């Protein structure tokens, strides 16, 4: 049994969700604990999802996608986020690269890269952050110097999800002095000479999602690697954050759903029979369920706006903030209420808590989301 949400899914969303759920049960759940421990990214599972058309649901058919609705896409992300969240994160990042290509790529770039990414043959990575420029992303310093026939990159990037696994890296680098307008976006293939993968991070959560440094040493790339215009890189990066933040929100919503369902199963079972404060927990989780229903409504609204190509950046920030804070709050309470069992690896409860923490940081921290929302509010009144 599962929690019920409104509105009921339309048939295409329900079909996609059912497919994701079946694959999740068959492929992800049985080995989730072992892979979290060994920090293994399962490319074969990603390929299985790709074969079922779950990677590129909202991408046009002409580029190998399913041309489905964003409701369907987020329904799949939510379903897959019930387990270790590396898969929805990997799908989300690959979609950021596809989104940037669709919006800013020339015909050659679109025709070359989109079919490979949308079929899952290739995996994408999106590299904006550097040690000194996380929240203040435009302070990046990786240099791309113009040379005859293209650019030469020297420097490094950090915290690149899918690093070492990806086949195509969308890398933001500095081509000019102006803070925002001096940044350009480049499409860099793995195995490009002068480009290598640096340190793989050991982290609190998201254990099965690779996170690495990228190193560029006199890395020469052709002019054709430039996405959009020179100096347009920061605009390109920001353009994908709306999609990314809704995706992270949907991941938070899926994780929260799994947490609430687990707490309810515990309350209905042995734990509930002996728990002296069962009612207090039930009331707290009733409120979480109501809040989750609200977050999911916002994701549905955002999905429809994205289908209509209507800007929803501020809604994306609100969703990211509310969904991931809710994931953190509910998973913390689940761990707390289960006591010692809550911190045992085998119970697969503490992983929710570790993964939720990462969600509050990625795609702009939640402090930055508050800052963005506050700035918009200033303009409203």
Ligand X SMILES: Cc1cc2nc3c(=O)[nH]c(=O)nc-3n(C[C@H](O)[C@H](O)[C@H](O)COP(=O)(O)OP(=O)(O)OC[C@H]3O[C@@H](n4cnc5c(N)ncnc54)[C@H](O)[C@@H]3O)c2cc1C
Residue 81 makes contact with ligand X by CB under 6 A: no
* Catalytic-residue membership of 13: no
- 161 part of the interface to ligand X, by CB under 6 A: yes
> Which range touches ligand X (CB under 6 A), out of 40-48, 158-166, 260-268, 314-322?
158-166
Q: What x/- string results for residues 188 through 207 when contact with ligand X is judged by CB under 6 A?
A: ------------------x-
Closest to ligand X by CB, 128 or 302: 128
Which CB, 67 or 136, lies closer to ligand X?
Answer: 136
Residue 371: CB minimum distance to ligand X, A: 5
Q: Least separation, in Å, of the C-beta of 340 and ligand X?
A: 28
What is the total count of residues that contact ligand X (CB under 6 A)? 20
Strands 195-200 and 211-222: antiparallel
Which among 75-83, 124-132, 212-220, 240-248 is the span making contact with ligand X, rule CB under 6 A?
124-132
Region for residue 339 given its phi and psi (left: phi exceeds 0; alpha: psi -120 to 50; beta: otherwise): left
Q: Residue 114 or residue 361: which is nearer to ligand X going by CB?
A: 361
- Is position 362 an interface residue for ligand X (rule: CB under 6 A)? yes
Choose the binding region for ligand X from 18-26, 69-77, 120-128, 287-295 (rule: CB under 6 A): 120-128
Piece of the chain touching ligand X by CB under 6 A; list 47-55, 107-115, 157-165, 278-286: 157-165
The site string for ligand X over 295-334 (x = CB under 6 A, - otherwise) reads ----------------------------------------
- Least distance to ligand X from the beta carbon of 161, Å? 3
* Residue from the set 134, 155, 198, 332 that interacts with ligand X by CB under 6 A: 134
Alpha carbon distance 371, 94 (integer Å): 27
Q: Which of 94, 127, 251, 256 binds ligand X (CB under 6 A)?
A: 127
Span near ligand X by CB under 6 A; candidates 126-134, 267-275, 292-300, 318-326: 126-134
- With binding defined as CB under 6 A, does residue 140 bind ligand X? no
373 is a contact residue toward ligand X (CB under 6 A): no
Instruction: Give the active site residue among 130, 266, 350, 363.
Output: 363
CA distances (Å), origin 319, targets 5, 199, 331: 17, 32, 18
Q: Can residue 361 be called a binding residue for ligand X (CB under 6 A)?
A: yes
Residues 86-115 that bind ligand X (CB under 6 A): 93
HEC sequence for the chain: CCCCCCCCCCHHHHHHHHHHHHHHHHHHHHHHHHHHHHCCCCHHHHHHHHHCCCCCCCCCHHHCCCCCCHHHHHHHHHHHCCCCCHHHHHHHHHHHHHHHHHHHCCHHHHHHHHHHHHCCCCCEEEECCECCECCCHHHCCCEEEEECCEEEEEEEEEEEECCCCCCEEEEEEECCCCCCCCEEEEEEECCCCCEEEEEECCCCCCCCCCEEEEEEEEEEEEHHHEECCCCCHHHHHHHHHHHHHHHHHHHHHHHHHHHHHHHHHHHHCHHHHHCCCHHHHHHHHHHHHHHHHHHHHHHHHHHHHHHCCCCCHHHHHHHHHHHHHHHHHHHHHHHHHCCHHHHCHHHCCHHHHHHHHHHHHCCCCHHHHHHHHHHHHHHHC
Quote the least distance from Cβ 205 to ligand X, whole Å.
7
Q: Is 126 in the site for ligand X (CB under 6 A)?
A: yes
Are residues 199 and 212 in contact, defined by beta-carbon separation less than 8 angstroms? yes
Residue 234 makes contact with ligand X by CB under 6 A: no
CA distance 75 to 361: 22
Rule CB under 6 A: which residues touch ligand X?
93, 126-129, 134-135, 159-161, 206, 211, 358, 361-362, 364-365, 367-368, 371
Known catalytic residues? 363
């Amino acid at each position: 049994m599962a929690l019920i949400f409104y509105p009921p899914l339309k048939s295409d969303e329900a079909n996609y969700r059912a497919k994701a759920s079946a694959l999740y049960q068959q492929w992800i759940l049985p080995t989730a604990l072992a892979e979290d421990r060994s920090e293994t990214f399962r490319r074969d599972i990603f390929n299985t999802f790709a074969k079922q058309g779950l990677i590129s649901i909202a991408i046009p058919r002409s580029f190998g996608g399913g041309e489905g609705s964003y409701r369907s896409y987020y329904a799949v992300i939510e379903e897959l986020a019930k387990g270790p969240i590396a898969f929805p994160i990997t799908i989300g990042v690959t979609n950021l690269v596809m989104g940037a290509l669709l919006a800013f790529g020339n015909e050659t770039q679109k025709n070359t890269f989109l079919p490979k990414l949308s079929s899952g043959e290739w995996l994408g990575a999106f590299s904006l952050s550097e040690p000194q420029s996380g929240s203040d992303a435009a302070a990046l310093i990786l240099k791309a110097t113009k040379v005859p026939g293209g650019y030469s990159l020297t420097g490094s990037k950090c915290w690149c999800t899918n690093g070492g696994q990806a086949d195509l890296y969308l890398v933001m680098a500095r081509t000019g002095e102006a803070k925002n307008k001096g940044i350009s976006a480049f499409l860099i293939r793995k195995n490009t000479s002068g480009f290598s993968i640096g340190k793989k991070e050991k982290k609190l959560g998201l254990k099965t999602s690779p996170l690495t440094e990228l190193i560029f040493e006199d890395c020469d790339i052709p002019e054709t690697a430039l996405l959009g215009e020179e100096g347009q890189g920061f605009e390109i990066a920001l353009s994908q954050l709306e999609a990314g933040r809704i995706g992270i929100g949907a991941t938070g919503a899926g994780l929260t759903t799994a947490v609430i369902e687990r707490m309810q199963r515990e309350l209905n079972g042995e734990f509930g029979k002996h728990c002296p404060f069962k009612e207090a927990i039930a009331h707290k989780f009733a409120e979480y369920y109501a809040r989750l229903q609200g977050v999911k409504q916002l994701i549905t609204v955002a999905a429809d706006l994205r289908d209509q190509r209507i800007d929803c950046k501020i809604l994306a920030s609100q969703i990211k903030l509310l969904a991931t804070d809710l994931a953190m709050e509910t998973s913390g309470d689940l761990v707390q209420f289960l006591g010692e069992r809550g911190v045992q690896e085998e119970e697969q409860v503490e992983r929710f808590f570790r993964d939720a923490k990462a969600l509050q940081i990625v795609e702009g921290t939640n402090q930055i989301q508050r800052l963005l929302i506050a700035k918009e509010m200033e303009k409203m009144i």
